[in-house]
A = this chain, B = another copy of it.
Amino acid sequence: MKILGRHLIVELVGCHRPTLDNLEQLEKYLKESVRQSGATIVESVFHRYNPQGVSGVIVIAESHISIHTWPEYGYAAVDFFTCGETVDPYKAYEYIKRNLQAQDAHLTELKRGLPSSTNEIIDHKPKINMENIAVITK
């Protein structure tokens, strides 16, 4: 595979349930996890569901980090998709796992990129232009 990025697919269980239902707290934690990983925040969108649960996605210059929470199960599905050698998605993962007080975690790392018979790392997206952001709400 011609590898452009790493994608950590994470199931966090036994988390602190009130935190899983707190949009502001979750957004703060995810943004800090991006900084811990060395990635660059482009944009952040969070939504709280009724009666419970939060979905949040932070688009980063190196792809995205997302979270979907089910406070009723103490569960969060978290993705850390990052490109480039300077970003460490495991630092974001460890930070989120710790701050959600997860009792257990299941992590799968996938390589993202172009299917190929050879394995090589190729350049990811160039530097972003922060002047060019579009936010569209339904």
Contact = CB atoms under 8 A, between A and B. Distances in A.
A136 B44 contact: yes
A75 interface: yes
A121 B49 CA distance: 20
Interface in A3-24: 4-5, 7, 9, 11, 13, 23
A55 B64 contact: yes
A135 B133 contact: no
Interface string A122-138: 10111111001111111
Contacts of A59: 45, 47, 55, 57
A55 B77 contact: no
A77 B63 contact: yes
Main secondary structure of the interface of A (DSSP, over half): strand
B68 A126 contact: no
A49 B126 contact: yes
Given A57-B64, A79-B81, 9 more contacts: A4-B73, A5-B77, A42-B138, A43-B138, A45-B135, A49-B129, A50-B132, A53-B125, A133-B137
Q: Return the 10 tightest CB-CB contacts between A and B, nearest first.
A: A50-B129, A41-B138, A44-B136, A57-B57, A106-B115, A53-B125, A77-B112, A46-B134, A45-B45, A75-B114
